[in-house]
C-alpha cells in the first residue's frame, strides 16, 4: 500500500482530452493519479505518458456504464490504496448525431445513451466509491457538468447559449447538477465536498476546433475543485472560481 499521506485521485475518461489533462495537472501537484478508460490499453498508454514525466500514475479499465467495471474499480482502489481522496467524474458523451438543437424529435435511444453515461453511471460509480472517499481526510468529488445544463442561463432573454438547446445532453447535465446539490447536502458533516464544474468550451473531440479554450485551461476548474480546502465550496456550480447559476 502506498504512503497513506499521499492523495489518490481517480479520473474517469482519462485517456485523452480534459480527463488526461486533469490527471496530468493533479499529478504535477504530487497526487497519485489513477487513469480510467473504457479500454485498459488506452488507459495504460495515457498513464505511461505521465509516468515518463515523473508522475505517480496507474491505469484501470473502467467503462462507467458497466456495473462489473465499477465494482472492480472500487476493489482495485481498496486493495491498492485503502482510500480515495479525489473522484473526478469526467467521462461523458454527446449525442452520436450532430450537436445541434433538438427537443421533441429526440429519440428514445439518444435519451437512454446520454443519460446512462452522463447521469446514471455517475450516480452508481459515486455510490460505489463513497466508502473509500469517507476514509479520506478531505474527500473531493467533481462532477463534470456544462453551462448547457444551466436552467438559469437557458431561461435568460437573449440567452448566450440559445443556439445549443439539445434536450438530451442539456437535461443530463441539469440532472447531474441536481445530483451535486443533493449529494452535497447528504454529505454535510463529513469531510467530503461535492461540486459541479463547467470547464468551458474547450478544444476537445466533443468541443471541436472552433472552441475558444485550450485543453490546459479547460482542466483548471476540475483541478481547483479537487484541491479546495476545508473552507471551500460544496454543492456549487463553478467555472474558474466563479459561481454559475443553476
Is 169 assigned a catalytic role? yes
Helix (H, G, I), strand (E, B) or coil at 204: coil
The neighbour count for residue 18, using CB atoms within 10 Å, is 27
- Tell me: the pLDDT tens digits for 13-41? 999 999 999 999 999 999 999 999 999 99
Catalytic annotation, pick one of 169, 193, 220, 236: 169
CATH number for the domain including 185? Answer: 3.40.50.720
Task: Give the Cα-Cα-Cα angle 63, 130, 43 (nearest 5 degrees).
Answer: 30
C-alpha cell of residue 23: 490527471
| Domain span including residue 42 | 8-239
For 30-43, give one letter per residue: b (16+ CB within 10 A) or e. ebbbbbbbbeeebb
Residue 128 lies in a domain: yes
- Tell me: the pLDDT tens digits for 69-123? 999 999 999 999 999 999 999 999 999 887 788 899 999 999 999 999 999 999 9
The sheet carrying 242-243 orders its strands as: 57-61, 32-37, 8-11, 86-89, 140-144, 193-197, 237-239, 242-243
Is 24 assigned a catalytic role? no
Residue 62 lies in a domain: yes
Residue 246 lies in a domain: no
Residues in the chain: 246
Residue 52 has pLDDT above 70, yes or no: yes
The band of 200, judged by pLDDT with boundaries at 50, 70 and 90, is confident
**Total domains, the chain:** 1
Catalytic annotation, pick one of 173, 193, 203, 220: 173
Amino acid at each position: 500500500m502506498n504512503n497513506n499521506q499521499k492523495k489518490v485521485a481517480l479520473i474517469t475518461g482519462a485517456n485523452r482530452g480534459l480527463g488526461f489533462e486533469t490527471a496530468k495537472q493533479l499529478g504535477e501537484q504530487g497526487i497519485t493519479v489513477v487513469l480510467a478508460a473504457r479500454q485498459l490499453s488506452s488507459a495504460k498508454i495515457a498513464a505511461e505518458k505521465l509516468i515518463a514525466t515523473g508522475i505517480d500514475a496507474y491505469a484501470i479499465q473502467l467503462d462507467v456504464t458497466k456495473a462489473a467495471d465499477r465494482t472492480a474499480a472500487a476493489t482495485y482502489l481498496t486493495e491498492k490504496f485503502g482510500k480515495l481522496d479525489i473522484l473526478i467524474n469526467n467521462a461523458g458523451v454527446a449525442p452520436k448525431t450532430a450537436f445541434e438543437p433538438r427537443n421533441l424529435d429526440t429519440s428514445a435511444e439518444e435519451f437512454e445513451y446520454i443519460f446512462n453515461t452522463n447521469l446514471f453511471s455517475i450516480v452508481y460509480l459515486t455510490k460505489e466509491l463513497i466508502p473509500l472517499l469517507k476514509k479520506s481526510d478531505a474527500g473531493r468529488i467533481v462532477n463534470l457538468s456544462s453551462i448547457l445544463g444551466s436552467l438559469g442561463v437557458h431561461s435568460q432573454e437573449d440567452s448566450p447559449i440559445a443556439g445549443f438547446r439539445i434536450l438530451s445532453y442539456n437535461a443530463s447535465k441539469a440532472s447531474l447538477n441536481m445530483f451535486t446539490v443533493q449529494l452535497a447536502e447528504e454529505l454535510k458533516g463529513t469531510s467530503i465536498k461535492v461540486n459541479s464544474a463547467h470547464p468551458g468550451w474547450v478544444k476537445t473531440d466533443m468541443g471541436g476546433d472552433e472552441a475558444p479554450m485550450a485543453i490546459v485551461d479547460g482542466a483548471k476548474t476540475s483541478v481547483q475543485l479537487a484541491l479546495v480546502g476545508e473552507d471551500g465550496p460544496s454543492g456549487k456550480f463553478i467555472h474558474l472560481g466563479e459561481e454559475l447559476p443553476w
